[in-house]
Amino acid sequence: MSGATLAAATAATFTTTVVNFTTGSGSQVVPAGANFVDIELVGPGGGGGKQGAGNAGGGGGGGYCKKTAAVSGGQTFSYAVGSVGVGRTATNGVGTAGTACTVTSAAPVVSLTANGGGGGTSNGAATTGGTASGGDTNTTGGVNSSDLGGSGAAPLGAAGGATGPTVGGSPGGGGGGGSSGPNGGDGGPGLIRFTFRAA
């Protein structure tokens, strides 16, 4: 069998495989027969702030990045899914930011980061959407609109939560702000997606 024929046969027999992670960290091994991978990350949403007598700010949405790389079976990627931002409870104040999702590899050379959204404020002011780096595409997450959490960055990011304690959508939506009494909502979880394909 010629090299071209063998390559065509391998491509014909490999089924596209999608692997998603929404928590934790570890290693992802490239399956035999895969020639390319699309890696997509969405950072977790930020937690909403709290204000007992006025508007609180929703959390920011997580950033998004995507990279396509040529791969060979047996190569390994290290990944870590960040933690969601926690909505403010008990006393007036800000929510916490979501922490970054990352994917790294020495071969192929990959270093991807999708940062979590910023924590919501206690006065309804704008917070920050998570940034992203290392991808062929890098998109910043959405900013809150008063107590409505920011959306996770397109195309995978979900909508932010409404007035607290509504949790942000999955993946990457900012938690709702706790205006006039309620607690702030937690951010939506992050996402790391590997799509292995033959061509």
Of 99, 38, 20, 88, give the one whose Cα is nearest residue 63.
99
Structure tokens at 83: 């933690």
SS (H, E, C) the chain: CCHHHHHHHHHHHCCCEEEEECCCEEEEECCCCCCEEEEEEECCCCCCCEECCCCCCCCCCCCEEEEEEECCCCCEEEEECCCCCCCCCCCCECCCCCCCEEEEECCCCEEEEECCCCCCCCCCCCCCCCCEECCCEEECCCCCECCECCCCCCCCCCCCCCCCCCCCCCCCCCCCCEECCCCCCCCCCCEEEEEEECC
Query: How high is the pLDDT of residue 163?
Result: 86
- Tokens 């910043």 found at: 140
Query: How high is the pLDDT of residue 12?
Result: 59
d(CA 134, CA 24): 21
Whole-model pTM: value is 0.92
List, run by run, the mean pLDDT of 10-residue segments along the chain (199 residues): 37 88 98 98 98 93 98 98 96 96 98 98 94 98 96 98 93 96 96 97
Query: How high is the pLDDT of residue 8?
Result: 42
**Residues 47-69 pLDDT 10s:** 999 998 889 999 999 999 999 99
User: ∠ at Cα 96 (90, 98), nearest 5°?
Assistant: 140
d(CA 175, CA 85): 8
Query: How high is the pLDDT of residue 11?
Result: 52
Query: How high is the pLDDT of residue 164?
Result: 80
Of 131, 128, 119, give the one whose Cα is nearest residue 164.
119
**Residues 17-40 pLDDT 10s:** 999 999 999 999 999 999 999 999
d(CA 40, CA 35): 17
d(CA 94, CA 83): 17
Query: How high is the pLDDT of residue 6?
Result: 34
